[in-house]
A and B are shown apart, each in its own frame.
Chain A
Protein backbone atom coordinates (compact mmCIF):
# COMPACT_ATOMS: atom_id res chain seq x y z
CA UNK A 1 0.00 0.00 0.00
CA UNK A 2 1.40 3.39 -0.98
CA UNK A 3 1.45 6.16 1.59
CA UNK A 4 -0.01 8.57 -0.93
CA UNK A 5 -3.73 8.62 -1.52
CA UNK A 6 -3.36 10.81 -4.58
CA UNK A 7 -0.35 11.68 -6.62
CA UNK A 8 -0.45 13.54 -9.94
CA UNK A 9 2.30 14.48 -12.37
CA UNK A 10 1.84 17.26 -14.89
CA UNK A 11 -1.86 16.52 -15.18
CA UNK A 12 -3.53 18.59 -17.95
CA UNK A 13 -6.98 18.72 -19.41
CA UNK A 14 -8.13 20.91 -22.24
CA UNK A 15 -11.61 21.39 -23.64
CA UNK A 16 -11.01 22.77 -27.09
CA UNK A 17 -9.14 25.99 -26.49
CA UNK A 18 -9.97 26.07 -22.78
CA UNK A 19 -7.21 24.90 -20.46
CA UNK A 20 -9.38 23.62 -17.63
CA UNK A 21 -6.38 22.20 -15.78
CA UNK A 22 -2.72 22.87 -16.44
CA UNK A 23 0.23 20.88 -15.25
CA UNK A 24 -1.15 19.78 -11.90
CA UNK A 25 1.51 18.12 -9.79
CA UNK A 26 0.22 17.24 -6.38
CA UNK A 27 0.76 14.72 -3.59
CA UNK A 28 -1.87 14.03 -0.98
CA UNK A 29 -1.05 11.69 1.92
CA UNK A 30 -3.52 9.09 3.10
CA UNK A 31 -5.92 9.73 5.95
CA UNK A 32 -6.11 13.51 5.75
CA UNK A 33 -8.74 15.97 4.67
CA UNK A 34 -7.47 17.85 1.65
CA UNK A 35 -9.18 21.06 0.58
CA UNK A 36 -9.07 22.16 -3.03
CA UNK A 37 -9.81 25.87 -3.09
CA UNK A 38 -10.53 28.00 -6.09
CA UNK A 39 -12.99 30.40 -7.67
CA UNK A 40 -15.62 29.35 -10.24
CA UNK A 41 -14.19 27.72 -13.32
CA UNK A 42 -10.75 27.17 -11.82
CA UNK A 43 -10.69 23.44 -12.58
CA UNK A 44 -11.73 21.84 -9.29
CA UNK A 45 -14.50 19.67 -10.70
CA UNK A 46 -12.38 18.77 -13.70
CA UNK A 47 -9.66 17.53 -11.32
CA UNK A 48 -12.11 15.27 -9.48
CA UNK A 49 -13.36 13.86 -12.78
CA UNK A 50 -9.80 13.16 -13.90
CA UNK A 51 -8.95 11.46 -10.61
CA UNK A 52 -11.98 9.17 -10.92
CA UNK A 53 -11.21 8.31 -14.53
CA UNK A 54 -14.43 9.94 -15.71
CA UNK A 55 -12.43 12.17 -18.01
CA UNK A 56 -9.25 11.28 -19.84
CA UNK A 57 -6.37 13.67 -19.26
CA UNK A 58 -4.96 15.51 -22.25
CA UNK A 59 -1.50 14.84 -20.86
CA UNK A 60 0.19 13.93 -17.61
CA UNK A 61 -0.73 11.13 -15.24
CA UNK A 62 -2.33 10.50 -11.90
CA UNK A 63 -2.30 7.70 -9.36
CA UNK A 64 -5.14 7.35 -6.88
CA UNK A 65 -4.80 4.82 -4.05
CA UNK A 66 -1.91 3.40 -6.03
CA UNK A 67 -3.91 2.86 -9.22
CA UNK A 68 -3.34 4.69 -12.48
CA UNK A 69 -6.39 6.68 -13.56
CA UNK A 70 -5.90 5.81 -17.20
CA UNK A 71 -5.52 2.06 -16.88
CA UNK A 72 -7.11 1.15 -13.57
CA UNK A 73 -9.90 3.61 -12.90
CA UNK A 74 -12.34 0.82 -12.03
CA UNK A 75 -10.20 -0.06 -9.00
CA UNK A 76 -10.23 3.60 -7.95
CA UNK A 77 -14.00 3.89 -8.24
CA UNK A 78 -14.43 0.62 -6.36
CA UNK A 79 -12.72 2.22 -3.34
CA UNK A 80 -14.11 5.75 -3.56
CA UNK A 81 -17.27 7.53 -2.57
CA UNK A 82 -18.37 10.67 -4.39
CA UNK A 83 -20.53 13.71 -4.14
CA UNK A 84 -20.10 15.47 -7.45
CA UNK A 85 -21.13 18.87 -8.70
CA UNK A 86 -24.75 17.72 -8.96
CA UNK A 87 -25.97 15.59 -6.13
CA UNK A 88 -26.99 12.90 -8.62
CA UNK A 89 -29.96 11.56 -6.68
CA UNK A 90 -32.81 9.74 -8.39
CA UNK A 91 -35.45 12.29 -7.62
CA UNK A 92 -38.45 10.16 -8.53
CA UNK A 93 -37.49 7.69 -5.81
CA UNK A 94 -37.60 7.90 -2.05
CA UNK A 95 -34.56 8.64 0.09
CA UNK A 96 -34.39 5.06 1.30
CA UNK A 97 -34.70 3.66 -2.22
CA UNK A 98 -31.86 5.89 -3.34
CA UNK A 99 -29.54 4.49 -0.71
CA UNK A 100 -30.79 0.94 -1.20
CA UNK A 101 -30.04 1.21 -4.90
CA UNK A 102 -26.47 2.26 -4.33
CA UNK A 103 -26.11 -0.35 -1.60
CA UNK A 104 -26.94 -2.92 -4.26
CA UNK A 105 -24.49 -1.32 -6.68
CA UNK A 106 -21.79 -1.79 -4.06
CA UNK A 107 -23.00 -5.32 -3.31
CA UNK A 108 -23.67 -4.69 0.36
CA UNK A 109 -25.63 -7.57 1.88
CA UNK A 110 -29.31 -6.74 2.55
CA UNK A 111 -29.14 -6.64 6.36
CA UNK A 112 -25.95 -4.57 6.38
CA UNK A 113 -27.47 -2.27 3.76
CA UNK A 114 -30.51 -1.61 5.89
CA UNK A 115 -28.46 -1.06 9.03
CA UNK A 116 -26.03 1.31 7.30
CA UNK A 117 -28.91 3.24 5.69
CA UNK A 118 -30.54 3.67 9.05
CA UNK A 119 -27.29 4.74 10.70
CA UNK A 120 -26.48 7.35 8.07
CA UNK A 121 -29.99 8.75 7.73
CA UNK A 122 -30.28 9.00 11.49
CA UNK A 123 -26.92 10.78 11.76
CA UNK A 124 -27.97 13.27 9.13
CA UNK A 125 -31.43 13.72 10.63
CA UNK A 126 -33.23 12.37 7.59
CA UNK A 127 -34.53 9.10 9.01
CA UNK A 128 -38.06 10.41 9.53
CA UNK A 129 -38.21 11.43 5.90
CA UNK A 130 -36.90 8.19 4.45
CA UNK A 131 -40.19 7.39 2.69
CA UNK A 132 -40.46 10.74 0.93
CA UNK A 133 -39.81 11.24 -2.77
CA UNK A 134 -36.58 13.19 -3.06
CA UNK A 135 -37.90 15.56 -5.75
CA UNK A 136 -39.73 17.65 -3.18
CA UNK A 137 -36.72 18.11 -0.91
CA UNK A 138 -34.73 21.27 -0.29
CA UNK A 139 -31.25 21.61 -1.71
CA UNK A 140 -29.61 21.12 1.68
CA UNK A 141 -31.56 17.95 2.40
CA UNK A 142 -30.63 16.52 -0.98
CA UNK A 143 -27.03 17.42 -0.32
CA UNK A 144 -27.09 15.53 2.98
CA UNK A 145 -28.64 12.48 1.36
CA UNK A 146 -26.00 12.56 -1.35
CA UNK A 147 -23.31 12.66 1.32
CA UNK A 148 -24.89 9.65 2.99
CA UNK A 149 -24.77 7.90 -0.37
CA UNK A 150 -21.10 8.77 -0.78
CA UNK A 151 -20.26 7.22 2.61
CA UNK A 152 -22.60 4.22 2.33
CA UNK A 153 -20.03 1.61 1.38
CA UNK A 154 -17.37 2.92 3.79
CA UNK A 155 -14.93 3.98 1.07
CA UNK A 156 -11.23 4.57 1.70
CA UNK A 157 -11.34 7.82 -0.22
CA UNK A 158 -14.17 10.32 -0.51
CA UNK A 159 -14.46 13.05 -3.12
CA UNK A 160 -16.80 15.86 -2.13
CA UNK A 161 -17.42 18.67 -4.62
CA UNK A 162 -18.56 21.61 -2.50
CA UNK A 163 -20.19 19.51 0.22
CA UNK A 164 -21.47 22.36 2.36
CA UNK A 165 -23.02 24.30 -0.53
CA UNK A 166 -26.71 24.66 0.27
CA UNK A 167 -26.41 23.58 3.88
CA UNK A 168 -27.58 25.85 6.68
CA UNK A 169 -24.86 26.85 9.19
CA UNK A 170 -25.93 24.25 11.75
CA UNK A 171 -25.93 21.48 9.19
CA UNK A 172 -22.62 22.68 7.76
CA UNK A 173 -20.99 22.54 11.21
CA UNK A 174 -22.49 19.10 11.83
CA UNK A 175 -21.16 17.86 8.50
CA UNK A 176 -17.70 19.25 9.16
CA UNK A 177 -17.67 17.48 12.54
CA UNK A 178 -18.75 14.28 10.89
CA UNK A 179 -16.04 14.52 8.26
CA UNK A 180 -13.38 15.31 10.86
CA UNK A 181 -14.41 12.27 12.90
CA UNK A 182 -14.47 10.08 9.82
CA UNK A 183 -10.99 11.11 8.86
CA UNK A 184 -9.62 10.88 12.40
CA UNK A 185 -11.24 7.63 13.52
CA UNK A 186 -11.43 5.60 10.33
CA UNK A 187 -8.47 6.98 8.44
CA UNK A 188 -10.62 7.92 5.48
CA UNK A 189 -8.97 10.30 3.03
CA UNK A 190 -11.22 13.15 2.02
CA UNK A 191 -10.71 15.33 -1.04
CA UNK A 192 -13.10 18.25 -0.96
CA UNK A 193 -13.49 21.39 -3.00
CA UNK A 194 -14.71 24.67 -1.63
CA UNK A 195 -14.79 28.40 -2.21
CA UNK A 196 -14.62 29.00 1.47
CA UNK A 197 -11.25 29.53 3.15
CA UNK A 198 -12.77 29.55 6.63
CA UNK A 199 -14.16 26.09 5.95
CA UNK A 200 -10.83 24.86 4.66
CA UNK A 201 -9.08 26.38 7.65
CA UNK A 202 -11.31 24.59 10.13
CA UNK A 203 -11.38 21.26 8.40
CA UNK A 204 -8.37 20.57 6.23
CA UNK A 205 -4.87 19.45 7.08
CA UNK A 206 -3.69 20.49 3.65
CA UNK A 207 -5.04 23.00 1.18
CA UNK A 208 -4.35 23.48 -2.51
CA UNK A 209 -5.26 26.74 -4.18
CA UNK A 210 -6.13 26.74 -7.89
CA UNK A 211 -7.01 29.55 -10.20
CA UNK A 212 -7.52 29.33 -13.95
CA UNK A 213 -6.44 25.72 -13.96
CA UNK A 214 -3.13 26.47 -12.25
CA UNK A 215 -2.12 25.27 -8.83
CA UNK A 216 -0.89 28.33 -6.99
CA UNK A 217 0.00 26.85 -3.63
CA UNK A 218 -0.22 23.74 -1.48
CA UNK A 219 0.19 24.20 2.24
CA UNK A 220 -1.48 23.70 5.60
CA UNK A 221 -4.18 26.37 5.87
CA UNK A 222 -2.42 28.33 8.63
CA UNK A 223 0.59 28.86 6.42
CA UNK A 224 -1.63 29.79 3.51
CA UNK A 225 -3.38 32.52 5.49
CA UNK A 226 0.02 33.90 6.49
CA UNK A 227 0.98 34.24 2.83
CA UNK A 228 -1.47 37.04 2.55
CA UNK A 229 1.10 38.98 4.53
CA UNK A 230 0.05 41.08 7.49
CA UNK A 231 -3.00 40.63 9.72
CA UNK A 232 -6.64 41.51 9.52
CA UNK A 233 -8.72 42.75 12.46
CA UNK A 234 -12.45 43.32 12.67
CA UNK A 235 -13.61 46.09 15.01
CA UNK A 236 -17.26 46.51 15.93
CA UNK A 237 -18.63 49.63 17.57
CA UNK A 238 -20.59 52.81 16.90
CA UNK A 239 -19.89 56.33 15.76
CA UNK A 240 -17.92 55.59 12.64
CA UNK A 241 -17.55 58.55 10.26
CA UNK A 242 -15.97 58.95 6.84
CA UNK A 243 -13.17 61.20 8.16
CA UNK A 244 -12.30 58.43 10.64
CA UNK A 245 -11.94 55.94 7.78
CA UNK A 246 -9.76 58.39 5.86
CA UNK A 247 -7.66 58.93 8.95
CA UNK A 248 -7.21 55.15 9.38
CA UNK A 249 -6.25 54.65 5.77
CA UNK A 250 -3.62 57.33 6.15
CA UNK A 251 -2.21 55.75 9.32
CA UNK A 252 1.19 54.08 9.10
CA UNK A 253 0.95 50.26 9.29
CA UNK A 254 -2.58 50.17 7.82
CA UNK A 255 -2.75 48.70 4.32
CA UNK A 256 -6.53 49.01 3.94
CA UNK A 257 -9.52 49.95 6.06
CA UNK A 258 -13.19 49.71 5.14
CA UNK A 259 -16.56 49.68 6.82
CA UNK A 260 -18.95 46.74 6.54
CA UNK A 261 -22.16 47.63 8.39
CA UNK A 262 -21.23 48.17 12.02
CA UNK A 263 -17.98 46.37 11.49
CA UNK A 264 -14.70 47.97 10.57
CA UNK A 265 -12.28 45.74 8.69
CA UNK A 266 -8.66 46.81 8.92
CA UNK A 267 -5.71 45.13 7.18
CA UNK A 268 -2.38 45.73 8.91
CA UNK A 269 1.23 45.11 8.04
CA UNK A 270 1.82 43.42 11.39
CA UNK A 271 0.09 42.46 14.64
CA UNK A 272 2.24 45.10 16.36
CA UNK A 273 0.21 47.80 14.61
CA UNK A 274 -3.04 46.85 16.37
CA UNK A 275 -2.63 49.06 19.50
CA UNK A 276 -1.92 52.22 17.49
CA UNK A 277 -5.05 51.65 15.37
CA UNK A 278 -7.22 51.09 18.43
CA UNK A 279 -5.75 54.17 20.13
CA UNK A 280 -6.32 56.34 17.06
CA UNK A 281 -9.95 55.20 16.80
CA UNK A 282 -10.65 55.83 20.49
CA UNK A 283 -9.20 59.31 20.39
CA UNK A 284 -11.26 60.09 17.27
CA UNK A 285 -14.42 59.24 19.26
CA UNK A 286 -15.25 55.75 17.93
CA UNK A 287 -16.94 53.65 20.63
CA UNK A 288 -15.30 50.25 20.39
CA UNK A 289 -17.32 47.20 21.45
CA UNK A 290 -14.97 44.47 20.32
CA UNK A 291 -11.76 43.82 18.43
CA UNK A 292 -11.30 40.43 16.76
CA UNK A 293 -8.89 38.64 14.54
CA UNK A 294 -10.45 38.76 11.09
CA UNK A 295 -10.27 35.63 8.98
CA UNK A 296 -8.74 36.40 5.64
CA UNK A 297 -11.15 35.83 2.82
CA UNK A 298 -10.23 33.48 0.02
CA UNK A 299 -10.16 36.48 -2.24
CA UNK A 300 -7.33 38.04 -0.27
CA UNK A 301 -5.29 34.88 -0.34
CA UNK A 302 -5.86 34.71 -4.07
CA UNK A 303 -4.80 38.22 -4.66
CA UNK A 304 -1.69 37.68 -2.61
CA UNK A 305 -0.90 34.44 -4.43
CA UNK A 306 -1.67 35.72 -7.90
CA UNK A 307 0.36 38.88 -7.32
CA UNK A 308 3.23 36.78 -6.06
CA UNK A 309 3.24 34.85 -9.37
CA UNK A 310 6.33 35.41 -11.46
Chain B
Protein backbone atom coordinates (compact mmCIF):
# COMPACT_ATOMS: atom_id res chain seq x y z
CA UNK B 1 0.00 0.00 0.00
CA UNK B 2 2.78 2.43 0.97
CA UNK B 3 4.46 1.58 -2.33
CA UNK B 4 1.29 2.14 -4.37
CA UNK B 5 0.91 5.53 -2.68
CA UNK B 6 4.52 6.37 -3.57
CA UNK B 7 3.78 5.50 -7.21
CA UNK B 8 0.53 7.49 -7.18
CA UNK B 9 2.38 10.43 -5.68
CA UNK B 10 4.90 10.26 -8.49
CA UNK B 11 2.10 10.25 -11.08
CA UNK B 12 0.55 13.31 -9.45
CA UNK B 13 3.87 15.12 -9.37
CA UNK B 14 4.38 14.44 -13.04
CA UNK B 15 0.85 15.53 -13.83
CA UNK B 16 0.76 18.68 -11.75
CA UNK B 17 4.23 19.11 -10.36
CA UNK B 18 5.65 21.48 -12.91
CA UNK B 19 5.49 24.99 -11.54
CA UNK B 20 3.49 27.60 -13.48
CA UNK B 21 0.40 27.24 -15.61
CA UNK B 22 1.95 25.25 -18.40
CA UNK B 23 0.04 22.06 -19.13
CA UNK B 24 -2.75 22.91 -16.73
CA UNK B 25 -4.93 24.98 -19.05
CA UNK B 26 -7.06 21.93 -19.88
CA UNK B 27 -7.95 21.23 -16.27
CA UNK B 28 -8.66 24.88 -15.54
CA UNK B 29 -10.91 25.23 -18.58
CA UNK B 30 -12.72 22.09 -17.56
CA UNK B 31 -13.30 23.27 -14.00
CA UNK B 32 -14.46 26.68 -15.26
CA UNK B 33 -16.88 25.09 -17.75
CA UNK B 34 -18.41 22.64 -15.27
CA UNK B 35 -18.11 24.80 -12.19
CA UNK B 36 -19.02 28.24 -13.53
CA UNK B 37 -20.28 28.46 -17.12
CA UNK B 38 -22.72 25.55 -17.17
CA UNK B 39 -24.15 26.33 -13.69
CA UNK B 40 -24.68 29.97 -14.75
CA UNK B 41 -26.44 28.90 -17.95
CA UNK B 42 -28.69 26.35 -16.24
CA UNK B 43 -29.39 28.17 -12.99
CA UNK B 44 -30.72 26.22 -9.96
CA UNK B 45 -31.84 23.29 -12.14
CA UNK B 46 -28.11 22.53 -12.56
CA UNK B 47 -28.28 21.37 -8.96
CA UNK B 48 -31.85 20.28 -8.42
CA UNK B 49 -32.57 18.37 -11.64
CA UNK B 50 -32.78 14.63 -10.94
CA UNK B 51 -31.00 13.77 -14.21
CA UNK B 52 -27.94 15.73 -13.13
CA UNK B 53 -26.45 12.60 -11.58
CA UNK B 54 -26.39 10.90 -14.97
CA UNK B 55 -24.54 13.85 -16.53
CA UNK B 56 -21.99 13.96 -13.72
CA UNK B 57 -21.32 10.26 -13.63
CA UNK B 58 -19.71 10.59 -17.07
CA UNK B 59 -17.33 13.28 -15.93
CA UNK B 60 -14.86 11.13 -13.97
CA UNK B 61 -14.73 8.63 -16.84
CA UNK B 62 -13.82 11.38 -19.22
CA UNK B 63 -11.19 12.77 -16.85
CA UNK B 64 -9.60 9.37 -16.29
CA UNK B 65 -9.48 8.86 -20.05
CA UNK B 66 -7.42 12.02 -20.47
CA UNK B 67 -4.63 10.80 -18.18
CA UNK B 68 -4.62 7.01 -18.15
CA UNK B 69 -3.16 6.55 -21.65
CA UNK B 70 0.03 8.04 -20.28
CA UNK B 71 0.38 5.40 -17.55
CA UNK B 72 2.66 2.96 -19.36
CA UNK B 73 2.82 4.24 -22.93
CA UNK B 74 4.01 7.62 -21.62
CA UNK B 75 6.75 6.08 -19.51
CA UNK B 76 7.73 3.89 -22.43
CA UNK B 77 7.86 6.91 -24.75
CA UNK B 78 9.93 8.97 -22.31
CA UNK B 79 12.21 5.98 -21.57
CA UNK B 80 11.45 5.85 -17.86
CA UNK B 81 9.49 2.60 -17.84
CA UNK B 82 12.43 0.26 -17.62
CA UNK B 83 14.02 2.10 -14.72
CA UNK B 84 10.71 2.06 -12.87
CA UNK B 85 10.35 -1.68 -13.49
CA UNK B 86 13.90 -2.22 -12.23
CA UNK B 87 13.02 -0.84 -8.78
CA UNK B 88 11.91 -2.95 -5.83
CA UNK B 89 8.29 -1.97 -6.43
CA UNK B 90 5.92 -4.88 -6.88
CA UNK B 91 3.75 -5.29 -9.96
CA UNK B 92 0.64 -4.48 -7.92
CA UNK B 93 2.17 -1.36 -6.43
CA UNK B 94 3.02 0.01 -9.85
CA UNK B 95 -0.28 -0.98 -11.40
CA UNK B 96 -2.61 0.13 -8.63
CA UNK B 97 -0.53 3.21 -7.90
CA UNK B 98 -1.08 4.33 -11.44
CA UNK B 99 -4.78 3.45 -11.50
CA UNK B 100 -5.24 5.05 -8.09
CA UNK B 101 -3.56 8.24 -9.21
CA UNK B 102 -5.85 8.57 -12.23
CA UNK B 103 -8.98 7.89 -10.13
CA UNK B 104 -7.89 10.31 -7.43
CA UNK B 105 -7.19 12.95 -10.04
CA UNK B 106 -10.60 12.54 -11.67
CA UNK B 107 -12.30 12.47 -8.28
CA UNK B 108 -10.58 15.65 -7.14
CA UNK B 109 -11.36 17.59 -10.32
CA UNK B 110 -14.97 16.37 -10.23
CA UNK B 111 -15.36 17.34 -6.58
CA UNK B 112 -13.90 20.79 -7.17
CA UNK B 113 -16.24 21.34 -10.15
CA UNK B 114 -19.27 20.13 -8.20
CA UNK B 115 -18.54 22.38 -5.26
CA UNK B 116 -17.73 25.33 -7.47
CA UNK B 117 -21.06 24.72 -9.24
CA UNK B 118 -22.97 25.01 -5.95
CA UNK B 119 -21.12 28.19 -5.05
CA UNK B 120 -21.75 29.71 -8.50
CA UNK B 121 -25.46 28.93 -8.55
CA UNK B 122 -25.98 30.18 -5.03
CA UNK B 123 -24.09 33.37 -5.71
CA UNK B 124 -25.96 34.03 -8.96
CA UNK B 125 -29.37 33.22 -7.49
CA UNK B 126 -29.04 34.56 -3.98
CA UNK B 127 -32.71 35.59 -3.86
CA UNK B 128 -33.95 31.97 -4.19
CA UNK B 129 -32.30 30.84 -0.97
CA UNK B 130 -29.70 28.09 -0.56
CA UNK B 131 -29.78 25.20 -3.06
CA UNK B 132 -27.75 22.04 -2.51
CA UNK B 133 -27.45 18.65 -4.20
CA UNK B 134 -29.62 16.05 -2.56
CA UNK B 135 -27.82 13.32 -0.66
CA UNK B 136 -29.13 10.76 -3.13
CA UNK B 137 -27.69 12.64 -6.08
CA UNK B 138 -24.29 13.03 -4.43
CA UNK B 139 -24.19 9.33 -3.54
CA UNK B 140 -25.18 8.36 -7.05
CA UNK B 141 -22.57 10.63 -8.61
CA UNK B 142 -19.86 9.24 -6.34
CA UNK B 143 -20.78 5.61 -6.91
CA UNK B 144 -21.44 5.80 -10.65
CA UNK B 145 -18.47 8.07 -11.14
CA UNK B 146 -16.12 5.76 -9.26
CA UNK B 147 -17.31 2.63 -11.01
CA UNK B 148 -17.17 4.24 -14.44
CA UNK B 149 -13.75 5.73 -13.75
CA UNK B 150 -12.43 2.36 -12.59
CA UNK B 151 -13.67 0.72 -15.75
CA UNK B 152 -12.07 3.31 -18.00
CA UNK B 153 -8.87 3.15 -15.94
CA UNK B 154 -8.69 -0.63 -16.30
CA UNK B 155 -9.33 -0.52 -20.03
CA UNK B 156 -6.94 2.40 -20.42
CA UNK B 157 -4.15 0.59 -18.58
CA UNK B 158 -4.68 -2.53 -20.70
CA UNK B 159 -4.32 -0.44 -23.83
CA UNK B 160 -1.45 1.62 -22.43
CA UNK B 161 0.49 -1.53 -21.53
CA UNK B 162 0.52 -2.57 -25.17
CA UNK B 163 0.99 0.78 -26.87
CA UNK B 164 4.31 2.14 -28.04
CA UNK B 165 3.26 5.78 -27.78
CA UNK B 166 0.77 7.85 -25.81
CA UNK B 167 -0.86 8.97 -29.03
CA UNK B 168 -1.50 5.41 -30.10
CA UNK B 169 -2.90 4.57 -26.68
CA UNK B 170 -5.19 7.60 -26.76
CA UNK B 171 -6.58 6.70 -30.16
CA UNK B 172 -7.30 3.12 -29.15
CA UNK B 173 -8.87 4.24 -25.89
CA UNK B 174 -11.14 6.73 -27.68
CA UNK B 175 -12.39 3.91 -29.86
CA UNK B 176 -12.94 1.70 -26.83
CA UNK B 177 -14.92 4.41 -25.04
CA UNK B 178 -17.20 4.93 -28.05
CA UNK B 179 -17.94 1.20 -28.03
CA UNK B 180 -18.44 1.33 -24.26
CA UNK B 181 -20.90 4.21 -24.51
CA UNK B 182 -22.76 2.99 -27.57
CA UNK B 183 -22.79 -0.67 -26.53
CA UNK B 184 -25.54 -0.60 -23.89
CA UNK B 185 -27.77 1.63 -26.03
CA UNK B 186 -27.44 -0.65 -29.04
CA UNK B 187 -27.94 -3.68 -26.83
CA UNK B 188 -31.27 -2.41 -25.53
CA UNK B 189 -32.27 -1.32 -29.02
CA UNK B 190 -31.62 -4.63 -30.69
CA UNK B 191 -32.84 -6.74 -27.82
CA UNK B 192 -35.44 -9.24 -29.10
CA UNK B 193 -38.95 -7.71 -28.95
CA UNK B 194 -40.05 -10.18 -26.29
CA UNK B 195 -37.24 -9.16 -23.98
CA UNK B 196 -37.86 -5.46 -24.55
CA UNK B 197 -41.50 -5.98 -23.68
CA UNK B 198 -40.63 -7.94 -20.59
CA UNK B 199 -38.23 -5.22 -19.43
CA UNK B 200 -40.81 -2.49 -19.96
CA UNK B 201 -43.54 -4.36 -18.12
CA UNK B 202 -41.38 -5.67 -15.34
CA UNK B 203 -42.41 -2.78 -13.17
CA UNK B 204 -38.88 -2.08 -12.02
CA UNK B 205 -38.55 1.32 -10.43
CA UNK B 206 -35.84 3.80 -11.39
CA UNK B 207 -33.91 2.97 -8.24
CA UNK B 208 -34.07 -0.73 -8.92
CA UNK B 209 -32.78 -0.23 -12.46
CA UNK B 210 -29.95 1.90 -11.10
CA UNK B 211 -29.12 -0.70 -8.50
CA UNK B 212 -29.12 -3.44 -11.11
CA UNK B 213 -26.92 -1.38 -13.40
CA UNK B 214 -24.51 -0.66 -10.60
CA UNK B 215 -24.26 -4.29 -9.56
CA UNK B 216 -23.50 -5.11 -13.16
CA UNK B 217 -20.84 -2.37 -13.24
CA UNK B 218 -19.21 -3.68 -10.06
CA UNK B 219 -18.96 -7.12 -11.63
CA UNK B 220 -17.53 -5.71 -14.88
CA UNK B 221 -15.01 -3.60 -12.94
CA UNK B 222 -13.87 -6.57 -10.90
CA UNK B 223 -13.45 -8.59 -14.06
CA UNK B 224 -11.54 -5.81 -15.83
CA UNK B 225 -9.18 -5.26 -12.88
CA UNK B 226 -8.52 -8.98 -12.57
CA UNK B 227 -7.69 -9.09 -16.24
CA UNK B 228 -5.35 -6.11 -15.97
CA UNK B 229 -3.56 -7.75 -13.07
CA UNK B 230 -3.15 -10.95 -15.08
CA UNK B 231 -1.92 -9.17 -18.18
CA UNK B 232 0.70 -7.16 -16.34
CA UNK B 233 3.86 -9.19 -16.91
CA UNK B 234 7.10 -7.41 -16.16
CA UNK B 235 9.14 -9.65 -18.44
CA UNK B 236 6.95 -8.74 -21.40
CA UNK B 237 6.75 -4.99 -20.99
CA UNK B 238 10.11 -4.09 -22.43
CA UNK B 239 10.21 -6.33 -25.46
CA UNK B 240 7.20 -4.93 -27.29
With most chain A CB atoms within 10 A of its CB, the pick from B10, B87, B237 is B87
Given A93-B13, A105-B3: A88 touches B82 (CB 8 Å cut-off): yes
Asked if B197 is an interface residue, CB under 8 A from chain A, the answer is: no
Determine which of B7, B87, B238 lies in contact with A106 in the assembled complex, contact meaning CB atoms within 8 Å: B87
- Whether the pair A54, B234 counts as a contact (CB closer than 8 A) is yes
Determine which of A88, A101, A104 lies in contact with B79 in the assembled complex, contact meaning CB atoms within 8 Å: A88
**When each residue 57-85 of chain A gets 1 if its CB lies under 8 Å from chain B and 0 otherwise, what string results?**
00000000000000001100110101011
- Whether the pair A54, B13 counts as a contact (CB closer than 8 A) is no
The count of residues in chain A whose C-beta lies closer than 8 Å to any C-beta of chain B is 32
**When each residue 131-173 of chain A gets 1 if its CB lies under 8 Å from chain B and 0 otherwise, what string results?**
0010000000000001000000000000000000000000000
* Distance between Cα atoms of A90 and B15 in the complex (Å): 11
CB-defined contacts of B82 to chain A, threshold 8 Å: 49, 54, 84-86, 88
Chain B residues 53 to 88 lying within 8 A of chain A, measured CB to CB, are: 78-80, 82-88
Determine which of A55, A74, A86, A133 lies in contact with B88 in the assembled complex, contact meaning CB atoms within 8 Å: A74
Given A97-B17, A107-B2: A56 touches B235 (CB 8 Å cut-off): yes
Q: How far, in Å, is A210 (CB) from chain B's closest CB? A: 19
Asked if B207 is an interface residue, CB under 8 A from chain A, the answer is: no
Q: How far, in Å, is B97 (CB) from chain A's closest CB? A: 10
Determine which of B13, B86, B238 lies in contact with A101 in the assembled complex, contact meaning CB atoms within 8 Å: B13
With most chain A CB atoms within 10 A of its CB, the pick from B7, B14, B86, B89 is B86
Chain A residues 88 to 111 lying within 8 A of chain B, measured CB to CB, are: 88-93, 97, 101-102, 104-107
Q: What residue in chain A is nearest B18 (Cβ atoms)? A: A92
CB-defined contacts of B7 to chain A, threshold 8 Å: 105
CB-defined contacts of B90 to chain A, threshold 8 Å: 74
**When each residue 1-43 of chain B gets 1 if its CB lies under 8 Å from chain A and 0 otherwise, what string results?**
0110011011001100110000000000000000000000000
Asked if B239 is an interface residue, CB under 8 A from chain A, the answer is: yes
Determine which of A49, A89, A97 lies in contact with B13 in the assembled complex, contact meaning CB atoms within 8 Å: A97
CB-defined contacts of B85 to chain A, threshold 8 Å: 54
Asked if A52 is an interface residue, CB under 8 A from chain B, the answer is: yes
Q: What residue in chain A is nearest B237 (Cβ atoms)? A: A54
Chain A residues 195 to 237 lying within 8 A of chain B, measured CB to CB, are: none
Q: How far, in Å, is B206 (CB) from chain A's closest CB? A: 46
CB-defined contacts of A91 to chain B, threshold 8 Å: 78
- Whether the pair A105, B88 counts as a contact (CB closer than 8 A) is yes
**When each residue 209-240 of chain B gets 1 if its CB lies under 8 Å from chain A and 0 otherwise, what string results?**
00000000000000000000000001111110
CB-defined contacts of A133 to chain B, threshold 8 Å: 18
- Whether the pair B235, A54 counts as a contact (CB closer than 8 A) is yes
Given A49-B238, A53-B235, A97-B13: A77 touches B86 (CB 8 Å cut-off): yes
- Whether the pair A88, B83 counts as a contact (CB closer than 8 A) is yes
Q: What residue in chain B is nearest A131 (Cβ atoms)? A: B19
* Distance between Cα atoms of A306 and B14 in the complex (Å): 48
Determine which of B13, B18, B83, B88 lies in contact with A84 in the assembled complex, contact meaning CB atoms within 8 Å: B83
CB-defined contacts of A74 to chain B, threshold 8 Å: 88, 90
Q: What residue in chain B is nearest A50 (Cβ atoms)? A: B235
CB-defined contacts of B235 to chain A, threshold 8 Å: 53-56
* Distance between Cα atoms of A105 and B84 in the complex (Å): 9
* Distance between Cα atoms of A124 and B53 in the complex (Å): 55
CB-defined contacts of B86 to chain A, threshold 8 Å: 52, 54, 77, 80, 82, 84
* Distance between Cα atoms of A105 and B238 in the complex (Å): 20
**When each residue 85-115 of chain B gets 1 if its CB lies under 8 Å from chain A and 0 otherwise, what string results?**
1111110000000000000000000000000
Chain B residues at the A interface, C-beta cutoff of 8 Å: 2-3, 6-7, 9-10, 13-14, 17-18, 78-80, 82-90, 234-239
Of all A-B residue pairs in the complex, the 9 with the closest CB atoms, nearest first, are A88-B83, A86-B79, A56-B235, A104-B6, A78-B88, A82-B86, A88-B80, A105-B87, A101-B10
Chain A residues at the B interface, C-beta cutoff of 8 Å: 15, 49, 52-56, 73-74, 77-78, 80, 82, 84-93, 97, 101-102, 104-107, 133, 146
10 A-B residue pairs with CB within 8 Å: A53-B234, A86-B80, A86-B83, A88-B80, A90-B13, A92-B18, A102-B87, A104-B9, A105-B89, A146-B83
